[in-house]
Amino acid sequence: MTDLLAELTEGARADARAREQALPLERIEAAAVAAAPARDALAALAPADRVKIIAEVKRASPSRGDLAEIPDPARLASLYEEGGASAISVLTEERRFKGSLDDLRSVKSTVSIPVLRKDFVSEPYQVLEARAAGADIVLLIVAALHQTRLRTLHDLIVGLGMTALVEAHTAEELERALELDAKLVGINARNLKTFELDRDLFGTLAETIPSGVIKVAESAVAAPKDVAHYRQSGADVVLIGEALVTSDPVSTLTTFLAV
């Protein structure tokens, strides 16, 4: 079976290296340092008396193909903010998700809530370009990275004033995430090597996440009952993409937030 995560990570790395040919490391590092300070994602996503939602700008995925054209990501993100989202996730992977850093830039310039760069990050250059583009949060997928590289990237993200969303989908990966002292931890119901879904995985793993860590449930959300399921299983935050880009985002968010 093809390891989709490895394929996606290598493709994203190759694309980043191509961008580095046009904009060398020293220049992107200077741009990252010069960027306006990152927004406080931990404050925005802190546990509350109701679930919080990270709403995703997502055109396509390897598992479902094309989802929505999204000609104006900033407009969609504005609707998400209007609907009550606490943060915006922007897929910037180009090959299979049809996203870009330009999407992230346009979203960041429009909304007042934190923006997540969701991509297959494995190189410091990708972290620096995320900050230069305005990202407040950067996704790190434990399954894609050796622990030394995972720690290096986590520390760089934090050092640049951003927040790392450290994503796991097994007990061993969660243990590795917690070794970093990560403050924002995601449990993805989708196995990124096979793309199979297990909606109950979050509840199984979340019990071992210590207090003080914000718990994010990812994937397998199609209806309010799915958000309620995650909330009852201990989720502070739910990340939602497909269900929003294929519906009226404001009304759907309103319904999801009412659980």
Among the options 188, 215, 233, 242, which is catalytic?
188
219 is catalytic: yes
- Among candidate residues 81, 123, 218, 242, the one labeled active-site is 218
Cα distance between residue 36 and residue 46, in whole Å: 22
DSSP state of 38: P
56 is known as an active-site residue: yes
Buried b or exposed e, range 235-251, using 16+ CB within 10 angstroms: bbbbbbbbbbbeeebbe
Residue 209, token pair as written in the block: 């996440």
Active site (annotated) includes residue 191: no
Asked about 188 being catalytic, the answer comes back as yes
Catalytic residue among 52, 58, 98, 108: 58
Residue of 56, 81, 129, 173 with catalytic role: 56
98 near 60, Cβ under 8 Å?
Answer: yes
Using the structure block, give the residue that is written with the tokens 């937030």.
Answer: 257
Helix, strand, coil percent values for the chain (each to nearest 5): 45, 20, 40
Question: Minimal CA–CA distance to 13: which of 88, 90, 95, 91?
Answer: 95
Task: Spot the catalytic one: 81, 123, 129, 167.
Answer: 167
Which residue among the candidates 100, 106, 122, 219 is catalytic per the annotation? Answer: 219
CA atoms in the 13 A half-sphere facing the CB of 65 = 0
Whole-angstrom CA distances from 161 to 36, 39, 63, 127, 157 are: 10, 8, 33, 11, 7
Catalytic residue among 118, 215, 233, 242: 118
Do residues 143 and 122 make contact, with C-beta atoms less than 8 angstroms apart?
A: no
How far does Cα 123 stand from its chain's mean position? Answer: 16
State the greatest distance between any 2 C-alpha atoms of the chain, in Å, as a whole number: 48
- Catalytic residue numbers, as ranges: 56, 58, 118, 167, 188, 218-219
